[in-house]
């Protein structure tokens, strides 16, 4: 059985106070009994530490029977460093400018060499000169670029409810991208 991540990424490159906001969001998820309070080895990256799925997760997904309660990798991992979140299989690297509506994917993805180390948060459209946070551009497939990300390991098949995604975004204070990654 392959691993799949459902990643919630705020649509802002440099989230202000990102580590503090991560703690606030974790506390909210724990209080709602969506994830467990103490970290265990239920993650998939680095030291594999994450916050295991809890019974309340059934309330925030469309298909609760598909939640990974019996899988060893079932937890939430919070990333608080600058990362690029894209699907790993079949990602087309297509993007458009919200101003001129031209295809600018190649130039945008080439610019990630400047974005990743934090030299800039913005991208400038090579067609019309429009400038915005890289997350402000249009992507055919959901992806995200931020110093904050919430990786829900193997929750993707269950499908988050729109109401949960809306509340999550409201608590963060920024719109979200939901990136599905197959490992």
Whole-model pTM above 0.85?
A: yes
- What is d(CA 35, CA 50) in angstroms, rounded to the nearest whole number? 9
Q: In the chain, what are the domain boundaries?
A: 4-80+146-182, 92-139
53 forms beta bridges with 35
Residues 85-141: pLDDT tens digits?
999 888 888 999 999 999 999 999 999 999 999 999 999 999 999 999 999 999 999
Mean of per-residue pLDDT scores for the chain: 95
For helices 18-31 and 162-172, the axis angle rounded to 10 degrees is 140
Cα gap 94→160, rounded to integer Å: 25
Q: Is residue 25 over pLDDT 90? A: yes
Cα–Cα distance between 5 and 155 in angstroms, integer?
7
Give the residues across from 138 on adjacent strands: 96
Contact by Cβ (8 Å): 159, 62: yes
């Amino acid at each position: 059985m392959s691993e799949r991540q459902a990643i919630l990424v705020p649509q802002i490159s440099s989230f202000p106070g990102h580590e503090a906001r991560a703690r606030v969001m974790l506390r909210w998820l724990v209080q709602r009994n969506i994830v467990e309070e103490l970290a265990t080895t239920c993650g998939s990256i680095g030291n594999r530490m994450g916050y295991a799925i809890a019974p309340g997760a059934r309330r925030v997904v469309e298909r609760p029977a598909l939640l990974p309660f019996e899988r060893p990798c079932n937890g939430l991992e919070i990333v608080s460093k600058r990362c690029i979140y894209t699907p790993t299989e079949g990602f087309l690297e297509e993007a458009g400018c919200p101003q001129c509506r031209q295809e600018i994917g190649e130039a945008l993805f080439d610019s990630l060499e400047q974005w990743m180390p934090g030299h800039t948060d913005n991208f400038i459209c090579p067609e019309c000169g429009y400038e915005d946070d890289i997350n402000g551009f249009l992507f055919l497939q959901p992806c995200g670029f931020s110093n904050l990300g919430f990786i829900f390991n193997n929750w993707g098949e269950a499908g988050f409810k729109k109401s949960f995604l809306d509340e999550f975004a409201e608590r963060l204070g920024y719109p979200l991208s939901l990136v599905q990654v197959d490992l």
